Amino acid sequence: MKKQPESADRLVFLNGRILLARHATLSVMDRGFLYGDGLFETLLVLAGEPVLWAAHWQRLATSLAAFKLAIPYGPMDLLAVARDLVRENGCKTAILRMDVSRGPGPRGYSPKGATTPTVLLQVFPETPARLGRLRAWRLALATCRLPVAEWSARHKSTSRATYVMARAEADAAGADDALLTDAREELLECTSANLFWLWGRRLCTPAVGEGPVLAGIARSVLLQLAAERGLAVEEVQAPVAALREAEGVFLTLSTRGVVEVSHLDGQPLRRSPWVPLLHAGLWERFRAEVRRQKRDWPATPADRPGR
């Protein structure tokens, strides 16, 4: 088995070039660093294939348009790069992160003069067993709250200070993630995942759209799967107490699928037999998507940028 590269020895894609991570540098005037003026996507890679690529690309494209930010690559260009990076880093199972910033520009908030975006792709090797098993996480309720009308939270913006501080609170409490609420103390999401809870055959989740909840890619697939399995799906506004009374609580995220929630602020929550069933079903959807992508979008090495 090929040894995985050390962090500095990984290959990354930066602005049209594939190079060692140790040689990848950004301008000190890059607006992604100075102002969090950028976007990102995080994807699961299985069998060398970025899972649900089309859905992730569509979300990124929508956010690029909202942020009035254009990049010189299309979806198939970056898919070819992603496949290349996975292969050349010697891993078939990994986490892929794509970052886009507005690039370097003059000092100040105005984006005027920032005309060359920064595009970075990285892969982080993982093991199939570590990713595929059903995990149970402990959550801590964050004291920092998201504004009800925070439009940027609906995009995967690199301006994530609230999420960073919420996760710091969770770390201090010995939890795996932080549970976020809004100013009305209603449930939203976790820093890295969408939230669900069960009442019999009723599956509840906070609504996306006008509020600050991110429309997760795994969330969308899970909602389809749950409806097919006979669960009544409802988008609701609810207080934290709903989780303590629920028959089961879980999260969805693109890099893990379903994660069960076992505790909230140190108190155990009930655990539903639906959760492992949904976990298995979601992973089967991931694998099916990999097979479909390989069939419909075969690799075209001659077309990939950076080579």
> What does the pLDDT look like over 236-256, one tens digit per residue?
999 999 999 999 999 999 999
Looking up tokens 């991931």 gives 286
Amino acid at 166: A
Amino acid 5: pLDDT: 56
In the predicted model, is pLDDT for residue 4 greater than 70? no
CA atoms within 13 A on the CB side of 149: 0
Q: Which of 1-5, 200-204, 222-226, 229-233 has the lowest mean pLDDT?
A: 1-5
In the predicted model, is pLDDT for residue 65 greater than 50? yes
Q: What is the pLDDT of residues 78-117, one digit of tens each?
A: 999 999 999 999 999 999 999 999 999 999 999 999 999 9
In the predicted model, is pLDDT for residue 302 greater than 50? no
Task: Please state at what angle helix 75-88 crosses helix 53-66, rounded to 10 degrees.
Answer: 130
Percent over 70 (pLDDT), the chain: 94
Q: Which CATH class is domain 7-126?
A: alpha beta
205 SS3 class: strand
How far is 232 from 225, CA to CA, in rounded Å?
A: 11
What architecture is domain 133-291?
Answer: Alpha-Beta Barrel (3.20)
Q: How confident is the model at residue 129 (pLDDT cuts 50, 70, 90)?
A: confident
Asked whether the beta carbons of 189 and 20 are under 8 A apart, the reply is: no
Amino acid at 75: P
Domain ranges of the chain: 7-126, 133-291
Asked whether the beta carbons of 116 and 152 are under 8 A apart, the reply is: no
Amino acid 1: pLDDT: 42
In the predicted model, is pLDDT for residue 13 greater than 90? yes
Structure letter (DSSP) for residue 217: H
Amino acid 300: pLDDT: 65
Q: What is the mean pLDDT of the chain?
A: 93
In the predicted model, is pLDDT for residue 6 greater than 80? no
Amino acid 23: pLDDT: 95
| CB neighbour list of residue 194: distance below 8 Å, 6 or more residues apart | 205, 206, 213, 214, 216, 218, 219, 251, 252, 253
Amino acid 198: pLDDT: 98
In the predicted model, is pLDDT for residue 51 greater than 70? yes
Amino acid 154: pLDDT: 80
Sign of CA dihedral 22, 28, 31, 36: positive
Segment 45-53 shows an average pLDDT of 96
Residue 69, CA distances (Å) to 2, 64, 100 in order: 38, 5, 9
How far is 91 from 224, CA to CA, in rounded Å?
A: 30
Amino acid 7: pLDDT: 74
Segment 119-123 shows an average pLDDT of 98
Amino acid at 283: W
